[in-house]
Structure 1
Amino acid sequence: MKVHTDLNNFSAKNPVVTIGTFDGVHLGHKKVIKRLQELAKAVNGETVIFTFYPHPRLVLDTHQAELRLINTLEEKKILLEATGIDHLVIYPFTKEFSKLSYTDFVEKILVGKIGMRSLVVGYDHKFGHKRKGTYEDLKMYADKLNFNIEQLEVLNVDAIDISSTKIRQALSQGDIETTNKYLGHRYFIKGIVVGGKKIGHEIGFPTANIDPQESYKLVPKDGVYAVKVEVDEVMYTGMLNIGFRPTVNHQMDNRSIEVNIFDFDENIYYKNISIYFYKRIRDEQMFKGIDALKEQLEKDKETVLDLFK
């Protein structure tokens, strides 16, 4: 996969294009990508995903300052590369760009710079200034500029239309099973291991504190989770706590992501690791003291080990 952050030297053979934010790269997105690849193969062409950074809602809507996204940009790159696409265009989204009409966007960028031969859009796709570019508008415009256009129906799983919004809602509720079902892969967090207070070491459950790096990354609901942890391309089992550690952090001033990696005793400070979520085990809670906390952690570990059996 070639990644492009500008289009001055863009080159692709018979480009077949789709456009979107692709937050989560979920099953609905994968349906679009599969069709993109089918069309590209039919014309001996190459697939192109055109996405934006930052997310348009973070730029245009001041009320979305607290918007959280399923993936950071780096995570999105990893997921899109795994689909086997040929080109990923990451176009800078600015207020100035948002004022571009959909006709200018198609004519000057998609056709003029990319050389688009075919366009695949999702069931509700709209773009251009004030999202005025609908499928019907684009279809009429396609004849004028000599490209093909195709719209796909929404993907339905268990009578639910798949969307990034529904996945964000599931994550916010700690519903990892639904999240993973709609994504078609394990929800994960990539982050840097940073220093903590080392209380876990003192009670026999050392933890790695994870900094996701991007403030907009959606972190699931507080609680304890069964996870797999990838360190230096090796996968380990572990349990992860998200929250304020009320038993040992009485000021409740710092929400943290801490993972206890089973059968692991290496210094991984400042390493980049990946956490894959399997199931939420329980709520975060306050215990009467360290001994009670340790006793519960022993039970949590057994629960996680039983899950992965």
Structure 2
Amino acid sequence: MALGFFDGIHLGHRKIIETAKQIAIEKNLTLAVMTFFPHPSQIIQTDKKVCSYLSPLSVKKEIFAELGVEKLFIVNFDMDFAKITHEQFVHQFLKKLMCKHAVAGFDFTFGYKGKGNMQRLEEGGKGLFEVTAVSEMKYKNKKISSTMIRHLLISGMVHEIPYYLGDYYSILGTIHQLSEQTKGAKSFKILINEEYMLPKSGIYDARLVLEGSIYNCMIHISEKTLNILEGAVIGFDDMSSDEIAKIKFIKRLPIKDIKNFFENMQLAI
């Protein structure tokens, strides 16, 4: 069983799940993941509250399935859960589920006030289940973490995210409104389906992924943006309202580059 919140399911998270998967294969066990919802900061008083996600729960479920997870446990993180001790967590959530091998990141904490750590997990499971702590992953001497990806989004540095996430940051939404513009461009609005964290306000070079096809587009995010994004795409006539689309953020564009962006897209048609 891999343990963690796994927001974003970045390269560090994938290392944990791949480690658990390899152990499951070697021991002929079921590959399981235990995650938590909502984010603990929404329940426990903290200076840094997380109210939007890199990967909302429905998206995490799909990614876990793609990674070969056979059984998924989602623990409701409420005040009652926040108050259980680390010993109670081991007994109620691992022993009772007959976990045979627990896998988590080296800095995984659990139980009341996070007093449980990997050493205490190993002590609590002695004779019942084994424990593997997965070491830290870094890029340019910086820890690969959900916190780092959030920092890059807040800074608008989406071009750096693939080094941490393994891919460009993306969101899912529904095409909401279409209209024609000059120079062959089609403007659109996309209704965001989930509680995604959005990048810093600005204009972004992005990719519109629709029914397996990928199109260059431009996405505008303003400080007033809530759940509807505005975008423009060139050379695409088959888009229609109510279609589910993915937006991948490639890089934030300086104002001077926006005209060149449209010209380059036209040349590519």
Instruction: Please give the TM-score of this superposition, normalised by the length of structure 1.
Output: 0.78
Give the share of equivalent positions with the same residue, in percent: 27
Structure 2 residue aligned with 1:169:
151
Q: Quick check: 1:239–1:304 contact (8 Å CA) kept in 2?
A: no
Any unmatched runs of 5+ in structure 1? 1-16, 245-252, 286-295
Of the three residues 143, 149, 157, the one matched with 2:126 is 143
Of the three residues 205, 228, 232, the one matched with 1:226 is 205
Distance 1:19 1:119 in 2: 7
Give CA deviations for 1:230-265 in whole Å, capped at 9, x if unaligned: 223332222222126xxxxxxxx6565222222112
**For 2:125, what is the secondary structure of its paired residue?**
helix
Give CA deviations for 1:1-40 in whole Å, capped at 9, x if unaligned: xxxxxxxxxxxxxxxx111110111111111111111111
Structure 1 residue aligned with 2:33:
49
- Cα deviation for residue 135 of structure 1 reads 1.4
- Residue 232 to residue 31, structure 1, CA distance change in 2 (3 Å): same
Of the three residues 121, 126, 143, the one matched with 2:104 is 121
- Residue 305 to residue 30, structure 1, CA distance change in 2 (3 Å): farther
**For 1:124, what is the secondary structure of its paired residue?**
coil
- Cα deviation for residue 59 of structure 1 reads 2.2
Any unmatched runs of 5+ in structure 2? none
**For 1:168, what is the secondary structure of its paired residue?**
helix
Give CA deviations for 1:125-180 in whole Å, capped at 9, x if unaligned: 11011111111211111115x10011121012222111110110011111112111
Question: After superposition, where does 1:189-200 map in structure 2 within 5 Å?
Answer: 189-195=171-177, 198=179
Structure 1 residue aligned with 2:82:
98
AA aligned to 2:232 is N
**For 2:93, what is the secondary structure of its paired residue?**
helix
Structure 1 residue aligned with 2:44:
60
Distance 2:26 2:266 in 1: 48
Is 1:268 aligned to 2:240, yes or no?
yes
Distance 1:304 1:179 in 2: 23
More strand by share: 2
AA aligned to 2:263 is E
Structure 1 residue aligned with 2:189:
209
Aligned residues: 267
Q: Quick check: 2:53–2:197 contact (8 Å CA) kept in 1?
A: yes
Is 1:235 aligned to 2:214, yes or no?
yes
Structure 2 residue aligned with 1:301:
262
- Residue 50 to residue 254, structure 1, CA distance change in 2 (3 Å): closer
Moved beyond 6 Å, runs of 4+:
none
Distance 2:265 2:90 in 1: 51
- Residue 297 to residue 282, structure 1, CA distance change in 2 (3 Å): closer
Give CA deviations for 1:169-215 in whole Å, capped at 9, x if unaligned: 0111111121111101221010122248x5xx34453322122233x
RMSD: 2.5
Q: Quick check: 1:121–1:152 contact (8 Å CA) kept in 2?
A: yes
Instruction: Please give the TM-score of this superposition, normalised by the length of structure 2.
Output: 0.89
**For 2:92, what is the secondary structure of its paired residue?**
helix
AA aligned to 2:21 is Q
Question: After superposition, where does 1:285-300 map in structure 2 within 5 Å?
Answer: 298-300=259-261
Q: Which of these two proteins has the greater Rg computed from alpha carbons? A: 1
Distance 1:66 1:182 in 2: 19
Give CA deviations for 1:271-300 in whole Å, capped at 9, x if unaligned: 2211112222225x9xxxxxxxxxx85432
Distance 1:304 1:89 in 2: 45
**For 2:215, what is the secondary structure of its paired residue?**
strand
